[in-house]
Structure 1
Amino acid sequence: MTQVDKAESGPDSLTADGEGTRPAGRSGPGPWKRGPVLSACALLLGLLLLLHRQLTDWAGMGSLVETFLPWFGLFAAVLLAGTLWRRSASSAVALLLPVTVWLNHFGGLLGDKSHQAGDLTVVSHNVAAENRDPAGTARDLAASGADLLALEELTAQAKGTYEKELAKAYPHHVVQDTVGLWSKLPLSGTRPVDPPWGTAGSPAARPRHDGIPVDPLRALRTTVATEKGPLVVYVAHLGSVRLMPRGGFWTDSRDSDATKLAKAVAADHSARRLLLGDFNGTLDDRALNGLTSQLRSVQDVAGDGFGFSWPAKFPVARIDHILVRGVEPKSAWLLPATGSDHRPVAAGINW
C-alpha cells in the first residue's frame, strides 16, 4: 500500500470485513451503553413513585416521602438534563417510567379545573398561635365573603379578638378547644368529635408515645342550616408531626388523630358532609387513607394547581384541606397570606 493509500484509509474507511471504524473524536460506548448510573437512578425513582405505599414507615420514613411526593418530579428533570448531556438512549427510555407515573398521579393538578363560584363558599385557615395580628387576619378572612370560616389553632387570648372582629359578618359561631366555625347561617347540634382526655386536658393527663406528649384530637361537628337542607360540617386540627434527631419523622400523634376522625366520619351517615382543617399531612400520606377513602378533596376535583398551603412564605406542601361528600366541588383556591404561617384555603361547592 502506498503512502497515499494509507492516508485515504482513514478512520471513516471500511475494514476488510465491511465494518466501519469509529470516527475520530467519538471514542467510548454507544448511546445504548452510556449512562448506566442515570438509567438505574431513573428506574429507582420510577419504582419509588409507583410503590411509595409499600415503603416502610419505620421512623416515619414513608410519611416523610409521601409529604413531598410531588417534588420528586424535580429529580426526573435533573435526570433528563444528565441524559441529554450524556446522550444516553438507555436512560432516556428508563426515564419514561418515573415521568409516566408522576404524570398519572399529579398531571391532573397541573391545570385549572375551577369553574364558577358555588352555592356555598367555605374557607379553612390555621390562624397560628403565634399570629401577632389576629385582628388583621380576621378582617382579611371576612373580606373573602365566605359563608363558612373554619379556624384552627385558636388560643384563649386570640379567641375574643376573632369573635369581636367576625361578629358583624358572621352572626353564628361555635368553638371547641382550639378549633371553631364562623357562619352566616344558623348552626346546631355542635359537639366535640373526641371528648378531651383527663379532667381538663391538662398536660399531665396527656398520653405519651416515646416520651412525647400526644396531642388530643381537636375537632368539632356541627350542622349548618342551608336553604337546600342540612350540611354536616367537621372542623379538625390533627396532631403535630416532628423531625426528631434520633427518632426520624415522628407522626404518632397525627396518625392517632386521623384514625379517630376517620372512624367518626364513617359512623356519620348524613347525606352531605364537609370536613375542613389542618391535617398536618398531605393527602398522599398513608395515614390519611381512612379519610380520603370516604371523602373527596376539592383541590383534586376543582383546584388550580397543587394548592400548596404551608409554609406561607414559600409553600411546599398542602396540609390544609377541604374534603366533601354529597356535595359537588366547583372551585378551589388559596387566599392571600395573613399573619399565620399557613395560607387560607377556600372552595366553592354546589348541591
Structure 2
Amino acid sequence: MVLPWFTLLLASLTWVLGEWPGERTLPTLLLAYAPPLLWVGATLPALLWTHGHGKGRRVAWAALLVATWGAGALHLRPQAEGALRVVTFNVLGGQRATPIQLGRALAALNADVILLQESRFATPEGRALLTAALPGYRAEHAAEVTTLTRLPLLDVQVWPLPANRREVLLTRLSWQGRPLGVVNAHLGTVQVSSVLTGDLERVRRTRDARDQQVRLLRDIAAQSPGLLLLGGDLNTPPRGRTYRELRTAFGPDAHDQAGRGPGWTFPPLLLRIDHVMGRGLTPRSARVLPWALSDHRPLLVTFDR
C-alpha cells in the first residue's frame, strides 16, 4: 500500500507546488512548466502494482484523477455560440503554409478579431498577401504580431516587449456600441530546457525577463478601462504565478470557462500555451482547431457580454 499512497501524495504535491509557488523557485518552476502528461504517466506504476496485488486500487485511481485534473485534461464545459468570435494563432512565419493559404483558412472561421503571432513572413509582400485573402478585414502590425478585425477601429497603441525584440499591440475597437480593447502578445519563453545542460543562469534570466513582460501587460490592463481581451502565444502553461497574474489583470481564461479536453495548442509537447482571456465578457466556447498549418494550433473563442 506504500506505493499508491506515495503516488497520491506526489501527484498532489506536484500540482500544489507548480500552481502556487510556481515561478518563484527553480524546482517549482520546472513543475509548473513540465509537460502535463508526465504527471499522468507517473501514476501508472501504482496502478500496475495494485492490479497485481489486489489492494490500494482506490488510492491509485485517486492519484490518477488528481494528476489528470492537475494536467488540465478534465475540461468538459458546455459549448454555445457567442456573438463575438476571436481566434489566436501562431503561424510560424508561414513556414508550413503560404500567406494566401493561411488567409483563406482564417477567413473560413468568420472571426471578428484575428490575433496572429510570428506573422513576419519570409517575403516582404507576405502580410499584404495574407490581408488580401481576408477581404473586409483591417490589419494592424507591431513587430511580428498582427491583429486583423472587421470591427470599427478606434485606436492603436504599441509597446516594446521588455528583454525581447517583440512588441505588444493594443487595438481599441467598437463592438455592440462599446469600446473593446484587444491586446495581442507573444511573450518570451522561459528556457527550462537549459536545466538539462546545467545552465541555470539562463533559466533565471529568461524567467526574470518573463516577469518584466507580465508587468507590462498588467500595466496595460490597468490603463485600459472597460471590456478587454488578451490573446496570443503567451508561452505560459495554465498554472503558476504568471498565469494567475494574467487572469487577475485580464479576466478568466476562455478555455477554463468554456473549453473541453486539455486544449493543447502546442502539439509537439502537448502543452496549452496559447490563451484568450477576457474582462467583462462571458466565454461561450473555446475550441482548438486541428490544423497543420503551423507548429501551433489556432484557438477559436466566442464571447457574449
Q: Does 1:277 align with 2:242?
A: no
Q: CA deviation at 1:145?
A: 1.3
Within 2, Cα distance between the matches of 1:62 and 1:196? 25
Q: What is residue 286 of structure 2 aligned with on the other side?
A: 332
Unaligned runs of at least 5 residues, structure 1: 1-34, 198-213
Within 2, Cα distance between the matches of 1:110 and 1:132? 30
Q: How many pairs are equivalent?
A: 293
Q: Does 1:286 align with 2:241?
A: yes
1:120–1:350 Cα contact (<8 Å) kept = yes
- Structure 1 residues 150, 305: closer, same or farther in 2, change over 3 A? same
Q: CA deviation at 1:247?
A: 2.1
- Residue 42 of structure 2: SS of its match in structure 1? helix
Q: What is residue 180 of structure 1 aligned with on the other side?
A: 146
- The percentage of aligned residue pairs carrying the same residue is 26
2:83–2:302 Cα contact (<8 Å) kept = yes
Residues 301-336 of structure 1, C-alpha deviations (whole Å, 9 max, x = no match): 11121110103xx55111011100101111110123
Q: Does 1:323 align with 2:287?
A: no
1:137–1:339 Cα contact (<8 Å) kept = yes
Q: What is residue 12 of structure 1 aligned with on the other side?
A: none
Q: Does 1:85 align with 2:52?
A: yes
Q: CA deviation at 1:172?
A: 1.3
2:139–2:149 Cα contact (<8 Å) kept = yes
Q: What is residue 241 of structure 1 aligned with on the other side?
A: 190
Within 2, Cα distance between the matches of 1:263 and 1:165? 31
Which residue, out of 235, 239, 260, partners 2:216? 260
- Structure 1 residues 171, 108: closer, same or farther in 2, change over 3 A? closer
Q: What is residue 22 of structure 1 aligned with on the other side?
A: none
Question: TM-score normalised to the size of structure 1?
Answer: 0.74
2:116–2:147 Cα contact (<8 Å) kept = yes
Which residue, out of 89, 96, 102, partners 1:137? 102
Q: Please state which structure has a larger fraction of its residues in helix.
A: 2
User: What is the 5 A alignment of 1:56-75?
Assistant: 57-58=24-25, 60-68=26-34, 70-71=36-37, 72-75=39-42
Q: What is residue 92 of structure 2 aligned with on the other side?
A: 128
Which residue, out of 136, 140, 150, partners 2:115? 150
Q: What is residue 20 of structure 1 aligned with on the other side?
A: none
Unaligned runs of at least 5 residues, structure 2: none
Q: What is residue 157 of structure 2 aligned with on the other side?
A: 191
1:215–1:239 Cα contact (<8 Å) kept = yes
Mean alpha-carbon deviation: is it higher for 179-188 or for 163-172?
Answer: 163-172
Within 1, Cα distance between the matches of 2:282 and 2:181? 14
User: What is the 5 A alignment of 1:337-348?
Assistant: 337-348=291-302
- Structure 1 residues 82, 345: closer, same or farther in 2, change over 3 A? same
- Residue 293 of structure 1: SS of its match in structure 2? helix
Structure 1 counterpart of 2:149, one-letter code? S
The structure with the largest alpha-carbon Rg is 1
Of structures 1 and 2, the one scoring higher in RCO (CA 8 A, sep 6+) is 2
2:85–2:303 Cα contact (<8 Å) kept = yes
Structure 1 counterpart of 2:88, one-letter code? S
